[in-house]
Amino acid sequence: MPLQPARTVEELRELRELTGNENGAQRIAWTETWERARRWLRGKLDFAEHEVDEAANEWFTLRGESDRALLIGGHIDSVPNGGWLDGCLNLLAGVEVLRRLHEEGTPPLTVRLVNWADEEGARFGRSLFGSSAAAGSMADQDELRDRTDAEGLRLEDAVRAYGVDLDRATDARRQLENAAAYLELHIEQGPVLESLDLPLGVVLGTFGVERHLITWTGQAAHAGSTPMNRRRDALAGAAKLALDIRRIAAETGDGAVCTSGAVVCRPGIVTSVVETAEQLLDQRHLDARKLASMLDEAKRASEGFAGEENVEVAWSKIWSIEPILFDERLIELADEAVTEVAGTSHRLPSGPLHDAAEVSRAGIPTVMLFVQSLRGLSHTKLEDTRPEHLELSVQALDRLTTKALDTLS
Ligand SMILES: [Zn+2]
């Protein structure tokens, strides 16, 4: 039986029925609904060998002529009130590819589909749990142990109920020992492909991220008695920077994005000039040098604004990650696969991180395919993609799998 992409769309709808409600998908990791989805997925793959690793990732294996393995991945967990495609499209497209390979006989390489545990981090705020454990990059076990969810339940206890011992989670690394390459299909979750009227794209890598807290310090003063030219208004500095990062992003180009996501003002009353403004800044770029220069430029600009407003400014890093570039040879193959299926290909970076970034960081050649998201929406029940585009995406993943098997064997 050849590939049946329409079956993937039917199965996505089936999963939506099984694990969603009127507010959207509810497959939050380490919950009963997540487990129901995992059981359902296992039922679809009864022809493959099944294994759960130390980080609760599930592996479905088709033995090939060689032990070297081509990996295809996705995540069945969702955010609360999530969309019907994020993460599970990857898996169900992978299911269809495995079916096709299984019916054709023994593939030249072993092919494994992985359902990563807790990609979203929706409950405990720790994204990429399973893939970072398998990549060996998870290093925050001590901090994770005491993380709690909104109900006060500890992460350590929640994961133990699913067989995970935090101290042994990175033993999942052995799963990547024979990995020759990793492929992941995902919805774009942004508006770029739709704006270009293209169904599919090839992902070059994931953005590097710089996240900083900027503290502006002025002087609280009476709103009535303090003349405008005597004020030391911390918010004025933050406001100038919030606007100037648009210029910085535009001048840097190539997809650069800068966001000032919050400013907290104190004393925060209507009758006082702002004494302190705590501002959050997030900057992203695929090019490490450009990312670094965007950060330098924002710092320089902030010092200028501090001078103009007679306030002080201090920066502290919250978190950062380097850009992760996918494998050039696999990008070429992905371009070929997308062009064959859709007529035109387009290369684009990914703003969000994905499990693929962790696998790539572990040194496994990696590439991702994106399929258009309608209105660019995700992490909401409004998330959607046209059925015909979903079908094309299954075909593209299938073609890419064949090309990767041919190239690697
Ligand atoms: Zn996802």
Cα atoms in the 13 Å half-sphere on the side-chain side of 274? 22
* DSSP run (H or E) holding 281: strand 276-285
Structure tokens that stand for 314 in this block: 């201090």
φ and ψ of 6, to 5 deg: -65, -30
In the structure, what pLDDT confidence band is assigned to residue 146 with cuts at 50, 70 and 90? confident
CB distance 59 to 113 below 8 Å: yes
Distance 229 CA to ligand 1 centre (A): 50
How far is ligand 1, taken at its centre, from the CA of residue 368, in Å? 12
- Rounded to whole angstroms, the Cα distance separating 99 from 262 reads 47
Q: What pLDDT does residue 318 have?
A: 87
Range of lowest pLDDT (142-151, 168-177, 201-210, 390-399): 142-151
Instruction: Give me the residues paired with residue 69 across strands.
Output: 110, 179
pLDDT of residue 13: 98
Residue 139 has pLDDT above 70, yes or no: yes
How many angstroms is it from 118 CA to the middle of ligand 1?
10
Q: What is the whole-number distance in angstroms between the Cα of residue 359 and the centre of ligand 1?
A: 14
99 CA to centre of ligand 1 in angstroms: 23
Ligand 1: centre distance to CA 393 (Å): 15
**What's the pLDDT tens digit per position in 345-395?**
999 999 888 999 999 999 999 999 999 999 999 999 999 999 999 999 999
pTM of the model: 0.89
Kindly state the average pLDDT of the residues 97-115.
Answer: 97
Q: How far apart are CA 360 and CA 135, in angstroms?
A: 8
Q: What is the distance in A from the centroid of ligand 1 to the CA of 238? A: 33
pLDDT exceeds cutoff 70 at 29: yes
Q: Is the pLDDT of residue 1 over 70?
A: no
**Structure confidence at residue 319 (pLDDT):** 84
Which 3 state secondary structure label does DSSP give 244? helix
**Residue at token pair 């978190």:** 319
**Beta carbons of 367 and 360 less than 8 angstroms apart:** no
Looking at every residue in the chain, the average pLDDT score rounds to 96
Spacing, Cα 75 to ligand 1 middle (Å): 7
Residue 9 Cα to ligand 1 midpoint, Å, equals 17
Distance in Å, CA 274 to ligand 1 centroid: 40
pLDDT at 236 over 70: yes
Whats the size of the chain, residue-wise?
409
Ligand 1 mean position, distance from CA 74 (Å): 7
Q: Give percent above pLDDT 70 in the chain.
A: 100
Q: Examine the pLDDT at 251 and tell me if it is beyond 80.
A: yes
Chain segment 263-321, per-residue pLDDT in tens = 999 999 999 999 999 999 999 999 999 999 999 999 999 999 999 999 999 999 988 88
Q: Report, as an integer, the average pLDDT of 111-138.
A: 95
Which residues make up the environment of ion ligand 1, defined by Cβ < 5 Å?
Answer: 86-87
Centroid of ligand 1 to alpha carbon of 342 (angstroms): 23
CA 78 – ligand 1 centroid, Å: 8
How far is CA 164 from each of CA 28, 30, 127, 132, 172, rounded to the nearest angstrom? 16, 10, 16, 14, 11
How many angstroms separate the alpha carbon of residue 204 from the centre of ligand 1?
17
Contacts of 165-169 with CB under 8 Å at 24 or more apart are 165/54, 166/141, 167/141, 168/54, 169/54, 169/55, 169/133, 169/138, 169/141
CA distance 224 to 122: 45
Distance 378 CA to ligand 1 centre (A): 9
Distance CA 271, CA 339 (A): 61
Spacing, Cα 354 to ligand 1 middle (Å): 6
For position 320, what pLDDT does the model report? 87
What is the rounded distance in angstroms from the CA atom of residue 85 to the CA atom of residue 12? 7
Give the span between the Cα atoms of 243 and 1, in whole angstroms.
57
Task: Encode pLDDT of 195-222 as tens digits.
Answer: 999 999 999 999 999 999 999 999 999 9
Compute the distance from residue 398 Cα to the ligand 1 centre, in Å: 19
